Amino acid sequence: MEKIYKSDFLVIGSGIAGLSYALKVADYGHVNIVTKSNGAESNTRYAQGGIAAVWSGEDSYEKHIHDTHIAGAGLCHNDAVEVLVNEGPERIKELIGLGVEFDKLQTATGDYDLAREGGHTEKRILHVRDLTGAAVEGILLKKASEHPNIQLFEKHYAVELITEHHVLNNLQSAFNICFGAYVLNEKNEQVIPFEAKFTMLATGGASRAFLHSTNPDIATGDGIAMANRAGVRIANMEFVQFHPTSLYDPGGESFLISEALRGHGGTLINGSGSRFMHEYDERAELAPRDIVARGIDTEMKKRREECVFLDMTHFDADEIKMRFPNIYQYCLKTIDLDITKEPIPVVPAAHYICGGIMTSLSGQTSMQNLFACGEVAHTGVHGANRLASNSLLEGLVFAHRAAEKAIRKQPRPFREVSIPLWDESGVYSQYEWYLIKHNFIEIRNIMWNYVGIVRSKEQLHRASRRMTVIYEEVESYYSKSKVTKELLELRNLTAVAYMIIKSALRRNESRGLHYMIDHPKKKDQFLKDTII
């Protein structure tokens, strides 16, 4: 067995950002892709609604830019938004060229069937029914598996970035450089160094830090936590987007009920069957997500109800089954509910991290030879609240720019370094792990109860005190134990939860997704990023 894997490019994560980047750099060198589950398991796969881009003659770049800024509540970086919107259509054309078949109208022209979602003033969402992410992921994964320069390592879990703290014989000239990552092979439980000229973090988000989340189990904030431990700059972790509508299924996993249903004309009603969103915003169901989520949360608390309902029963049944087959089938099989005949019970759930690893417009982080892209990154596009369906677009656009940068860039010259093998010392204590692993559920409860849709200083301080104890417990156990996938996930989730709380405590205002009951107004002094 090899003691070290070497490549020109190391990609950690196999969603839309990681795979897009890998395919673009693969013609210029060998690429190793590391993914903690199977290649298809990513947040991309679960994206239902679609990809936003200026596509019709009735739309314009100016309108898409304006909508993004309005949703972002003053914190979007204008240069990043302009890059996203202006370059987006070209990146989508590339997807179509690869074989992604977006839905078209059943007309003689065969134009694309553009949808509208909350916060958008025009129809600009390209989609593949309600399975857009899965369609895109499938095509990209197929192309990656066929490329001779790409090797995919499934069930491999990144442990730490390799930096000057690890390399031997070269501490001076190797300052603030990433040399790759230590990676756990889950099958044989060995940690192997993956050395690379350039490393791309595309590990997705961290919404599993909350009790109710639309994200798969893998979304434990691994890339953000690793980057933070390596001293890389992180920004705006307080802005966690709660999707307004996940299926209310007590005892079951959260399931996303796409924004596209409201964009299609679905209405939100309370337990009495009355629409209520017009009381909270003139845009009603099509307001940005932060406003709709808070409206639902307020309505539930006011009426002491456990959920609200999304009503699609006023549409033709065949139309709904054709446009939203995945959601229709899931509700029918899971809770025996026919969404063409009965309203869907929904509640908000943690969905998307708008902050992350700070990057340039080319995906470059504050560490040399380390890039980040997708939900793990903070490009400045989303500000204080992400506009619906801008996430897949961000992954495409900035993966392309990062690939161009890496292809052009020559790694900083340095003398030959020696990367040591992972220190395998440490023991596994079943009894102690049994005690420590309970922190998984405690973290998620703390975050849901005290750091959720509506916050206060008192709640955040309480969360901070409890999270400090958990953080110290987990770090102590990690320092003396043999690494496992579960332990790494717990460590990363703890670190990310801690960052969210600390960032939230530094923003004494209400803006976008960060709503403080004791600081209900926006304040100009906070028109800046919260940087860790």
Active site residues: 289
Distance CA 162, CA 228 (A): 13
At CB < 8 A and 24+ separation, what contacts does 147-150 make?
147/22, 147/23, 147/26, 147/31, 149/26, 149/27, 149/29, 149/30, 149/31, 150/22, 150/23, 150/26, 150/31, 150/33
Kindly list the distances between the CA atom of residue 170 and the CA atoms of 164, 174, 411, in Å, as whole numbers in the listed order: 8, 6, 15
Distance CA 396, CA 398 (A): 6
362 contact partners, CB below 8 Å, separation of at least 6: 371, 398, 401, 402, 404, 405
What one-letter code names the amino acid at 174? A
Do 442 and 500 form a contact (C-beta atoms < 8 A)? Answer: no
Distance CA 381, CA 36 (A): 27
Do 370 and 296 form a contact (C-beta atoms < 8 A)? Answer: no
The distance of Cα 8 from the centroid of its chain, to the nearest Å, equals: 26
Strand, helix or coil for residue 84: helix
The distance of Cα 422 from the centroid of its chain, to the nearest Å, equals: 29
Distance CA 38, CA 13 (A): 10
Distance CA 209, CA 471 (A): 13
Q: Which residue in 375, 146, 131, 345 sits closest to 246, CA to CA? A: 345
Distance CA 89, CA 386 (A): 19
Distance CA 317, CA 333 (A): 17
302 contact partners, CB below 8 Å, separation of at least 6: none
Do 16 and 204 form a contact (C-beta atoms < 8 A)? Answer: no
CB-facing half-sphere around the CA of 515: CA atoms within 13 A: 18
Distance CA 399, CA 464 (A): 35
